[in-house]
Amino acid sequence: MLQHVWLIPVGFLLGAYGTIIGAGGGFLLVPLLLFAYPEEAPDTVTSISLAVVFFNALSGTLAYSRQKRIDYRSGLIFSAATVPGAILGALSTNLFSRRLFDGMFGALMILATALLVLRPTKKAKPNPLGSSQYQRRVVTEANGTEHAFFYNLPLGIGISVVVGYISTLLGVGGGFIHVPALVHLLNFPVHIATATSQFILAVMALTGTGVHLLTGTFTHGFRRTLMLGIGVLVGAQMGAYFSERLRGDWIIRGLAAALGLVGLRLVWRALAL
């Protein structure tokens, strides 16, 4: 147990940063576990990471709930859409070799970085009148800030199904995909997107972890999960506190920077194996 104590401060930092950007921290935890435990199989790494993502997302959701920044109606719809993909992704983790797993994960992160950096300068302004596929949402934060926006419901559901599969397959939670999609494809305000993403992650990560437990994939690594879980539970509260004080564009830049660096490192590792 003592040899894993160093994971508590790591979990704290991951929880804080992951909650700020609404990504759960799994996209940083997976490469860290891959580097720290090179002998571990991909399914063990994803099982540990996904369980930690759940604790992070749960803590972040509670914090964002107090700030009233979660769009619960949209979050419930998107959460339900992630469940089929999450189950399929959890059942697919043992089908990939470590080298392919590293390369696939790194490439996905680089792609997400490119989408953030090269994002359109102008968001789509759909006119929802006369179209049932658009949903109008109004979210009022605890400080009185009101956000009114529209989004394409079928597109949001489709994105969530894909995110559920990819994120659970890789054990990363999927917020690093969902947040940019919510902001740039579905017109969510950044702070509402990050908070709602945490809520969605909690449901999705719990589903994936449950499948891992039922199928016997998650058979060891519980001590490491416990140490990381302690850290992220506290760190997520801190992240939600600081998120309220950061501008939306800085949150997106922070997400892009982390994704790019880690993605390049993993691709290089996969090519060198």
| Reported pTM | 0.81
Q: What is the pLDDT of residue 17?
A: 86
Alpha helices for the chain (secondary structure H): 7-21, 26-36, 42-67, 72-92, 98-117, 153-170, 175-184, 190-215, 222-243, 248-272
Quick one: what percent of the chain has pLDDT higher than 70? 91
pLDDT band at residue 257 using 50, 70 and 90 as cut-offs: confident
User: Could you read off the pLDDT of 152-179 as tens digits, one per residue?
Assistant: 999 999 999 988 887 777 767 677 778 8
Average pLDDT estimate for 137-166:
92
Report angle CA 86, 172, 5 to the nearest 5 degrees: 125
Among residues 109, 166, 157, the alpha carbon closest in space to that of 133 is found at 157
